[in-house]
Amino acid sequence: MIEGGGTALLADLGTGAFANLLAHRPLGSLDAVLISHMHADHFLDVIPMRYALKYGDVRPARKLPLYLPPGGEALLRKLTGAFPREPYGDFLGEVFDLRTYDPARALQIGAVSVSFAPTSHYVTTFAMRFEACGRSVTYSADTAPDENVSDLARGANVFLCEATLSQLAEEELPRGHSSARQAARMASNAGVERLILTHYPSTRDAAAMATEAREFFAGSLQVADDGFTYEV
């Protein structure tokens, strides 16, 4: 979740993310959801969110904007089309304002500007840069080491970068992810102030990941976990 200038956005919504969101703020106070790519671990909690928006005790007065990558709405509708038909309306459209973003153009959502860059992943995926109040956060989404992602993160206050792979898996092919060391190299190349590692297996040791990343990044460095918050 990104908050700035009174605007609150979600970048991706994988399994468990919706419950974590509700621990931090009411659903009705969220301004938009943005999905980087259509892998289930990045969008599947759109489904429980839909049920909460439809049947929850407090229902927002307006539809929640849901920004999807090109082709994302068709895939999401194909998935929800497999559910038993309900006797009313559009399963998604009843509660979401479905929008397809153009990754070549920046979005302005409330006080937050969002820009995009393609990543190196197994399906079409976009990293996101959020800017508000003179501060910036770049989220890598899923990616192997990629200059497009480093360029998007150039000079960012915070670079939230995936670190899925172990050091031993760095050269495996095909590859659509990065290691902690590779995330650190991208952060160093981009000249960011702070690197936060995320999207890693629960079996990985956070301290070991930080040690690996420290070989290539001299700035402030942390490893994210559930409930992690940071003021930019």
pLDDT bin (cut points 50, 70, 90) of residue 102 is very high
Q: What pLDDT was estimated at residue 209?
A: 97
- Supply the mean pLDDT for the chain: 94
What's the gap between Cα 164 and its chain centre?
Answer: 14
Task: Give this prediction's pTM.
Answer: 0.95
pLDDT tens-place string over residues 140-186:
999 999 999 999 999 999 999 999 999 888 888 888 999 999 999 99
Res 31: pLDDT:
96
Return the percentage of the chain with pLDDT > 90, whole number. 84
- Say what angle helices 206-214 and 180-190 make with each other, to 10 degrees: 40
Please check whether residue 105 is in contact with residue 73, taking contact to mean a CB–CB distance below 8 angstroms.
Answer: no
- C-alpha separations of 84 from 43, 79, 81, 88, 216 in Å: 20, 11, 8, 12, 51
Q: Write down the pLDDT at residue 200.
A: 96
Confidence of residue 205 (pLDDT cuts 50, 70, 90): very high
Percent of the chain scoring above 70 in pLDDT: 100
Residue ranges of domains in the chain, CATH in brackets: 1-101 (3.60.15.10), 102-232 (3.60.15.10)
In sequence order, what are the residues at sequence separation of 6 or more whose Cβ sits closer than 8 angstroms to the Cβ of residue 103? Answer: 69, 70, 116, 117, 118, 126
Helix (H, G, I), strand (E, B) or coil at 102: coil
